[in-house]
Structure 1
Amino acid sequence: MRILITNDDGINAGGIIRLANAAIDIGEVWVVAPNEQRSAASHSISLHDHIDIYPYDFPIAGVKAFSCSGTPSDCVRVGCLNIMPCKPDLVLSGINNGYNAASDIQYSATAGAAFEGSFQGILSISLSEEADKLHEVSEAYLHDVLSELCCKKLEYGQIYNVNFPGCPLSQCKGILRNRKVSHGMFFRDHYIELKKLDNNGIRLMVEGDYNEDCEPDTDFRAVVDKYISIGIVNNIG
């Protein structure tokens, strides 16, 4: 199996290294990932700017890696269409530092890159975990989750979306599959005014209030209750 891995936290992020380390047990691994942080880029691609690609000294033996100046979706496109000798059998995006569940999925470049893989006709999986928390659950379950999903088929425009809770392994209650996408949100956003600008302008910055109100049987509810959430997400396009 040929596997293409990307992310939106940058090629040097810990999550992509752990994902590649798990994936190398199931196939030939290629990494094409952004050269810097690209979170919340959704499914955007570069149309009017050039894209620079450089070989990258990835810290896992046997992984062929390249850094990319573009978005995570650009990484999948150039990986599939230019860098790899033939299209991969599987696209993995992550492991993202922060959940990509509920309404946040529409902004997620982790999910956006996976959707690009799906649009290229490739089985694609987006993987995320709670931001800046323990990795015990993802470390324990990652290989089994990849092995379970890597050969399953999806319809065009669908991806598997996986979220790992950031709790100690002893507190994780297992896996919940077929989770629906919640209509809720982890952070209820508002904007704060930072300063007044010339010509009657104002400078704003987003600020979010953490929230755990969510519907039953959803991805959001699963991770709040310390389960691993697995679900199929359809691109609205």
Structure 2
Amino acid sequence: MRLLLVNDDGIDAIGIQALAKEFEKDYELVIVAPEGQRSAASHSITLSKPILVKKLDIPGIESKAYSISGSPADCVRVALDKLVEEPVDVVLSGINLGLNIGTDVLYSGTVSAAIEGNLYKIPSMAFSCEMGKEPNCFETAAKHAKSIFEKVKEDLIKNNIVLNVNFPCIKEEDIKGIKVCKIGGIVYDYYFVENKNGEDEITLAIEGRHKEEKEEETDRFYLKEGYITVTPLHYDLTNYELMKKVKNWL
């Protein structure tokens, strides 16, 4: 089985390297990642300038690896069009440095890269891990990512879907299990801090307050309880329930 591994944190990120080391033991792997940090790039693609592609050797990893100057979605597009000659069976994205839960999935380059794979009719999985004090979080997450993948891979390929997987940053023995669940609500209450540079110019710095999850049975709720969460996603944003009503408006 041939897997394409991408991310949004960059080719040198601990998460993608932990995932690569775990998956290349049993699968053919090609790694294509941004040259630097591209978090919150969402589903942006590069249109106005050329994309620089570099072949790299990553210490401790045997798989072919490339960095590109584009976005996470560009990584998938460039890989499938130019870098991987044989068909790709599954796109893996991550492991992101930080959770992608609730409305984070709208801004996430990690999730968007997985969805980009799905646009090419390739089933995909996005992996993200909570940032915390547990030192082996990403190694633990990579092991569970592979275990989950091996359980779902046959059905994943048959159904051509995207799975969004999040891991708590806790000791392996403290993980309670896996919950398949919906995404939660708004994760942060963002606001801007204003600084005046002069009479006609200001600088705005974004700050964020983390909001508690009040609704049960969501990804945010279960992660706080010590579970790994899995949420199936799709990119069709059409609100089918409202189509007839909008037709009547017109």
Q: In which range does the TM-score fall when normalised by the shorter chain? A: over 0.9
Root mean square deviation, CA, Å: 1.7
For residue 170 of structure 2, the aligned residue among 167, 170, 174 is 167
**Distance apart, 1:234 and its partner CA:** 1.6
Residue 33 in structure 1 maps to residue 36 in structure 2: no
Secondary structure in 2 matching 1:200 = coil
Secondary structure in 2 matching 1:198 = coil
Identical aligned pairs, as a percentage? 36
Over residues 55-75 of structure 1, what are the superposed CA-to-partner deviations in whole Å (9 max), with x where a residue is unaligned? 011224430000100001000
- Contact 1:17 1:59 (8 Å CA) reproduced: no
Say which one has the larger Rg.
2
With over 3 angstroms needed to count, the CA separation of the structure-2 counterparts of 1:159 and 1:20, relative to structure 1, is same
Over residues 99-153 of structure 1, what are the superposed CA-to-partner deviations in whole Å (9 max), with x where a residue is unaligned? 0010111000000100000001111000001024431641552321121233323
CA distance in 2, matches of 1:6, 1:162: 15
Residue 191 in structure 1 maps to residue 192 in structure 2: yes
- Contact 1:175 1:228 (8 Å CA) reproduced: yes
Partner of 2:206: 206
Q: Structure 2 counterpart of 1:118, which letter?
A: N
CA distance in 2, matches of 1:76, 1:132: 29
Partner of 2:67: 67
Secondary structure in 2 matching 1:141 = helix
> Relative to structure 2, which stretch is displaced further, 122-131 or 202-211?
202-211
For residue 181 of structure 1, the aligned residue among 180, 183, 195 is 183
CA distance in 1, matches of 2:159, 2:143: 29
Structure 1 gaps of 5+ residues are none
Structure with bigger helix share is: 2
**Distance apart, 1:30 and its partner CA:** 0.2
- Contact 1:46 1:71 (8 Å CA) reproduced: yes
How many equivalent pairs are there? 233
CA distance in 1, matches of 2:84, 2:142: 28
CA distance in 2, matches of 1:159, 1:83: 22
- Contact 1:29 1:62 (8 Å CA) reproduced: no
CA distance in 1, matches of 2:132, 2:37: 15
Partner of 1:116: 116
- Contact 1:23 1:146 (8 Å CA) reproduced: no
Structure 2 gaps of 5+ residues are 238-250
- Contact 1:182 1:214 (8 Å CA) reproduced: no
CA distance in 2, matches of 1:43, 1:87: 23
**Distance apart, 1:198 and its partner CA:** 3.4
TM-score, L = length of structure 1: 0.92
Partner of 2:16: 16
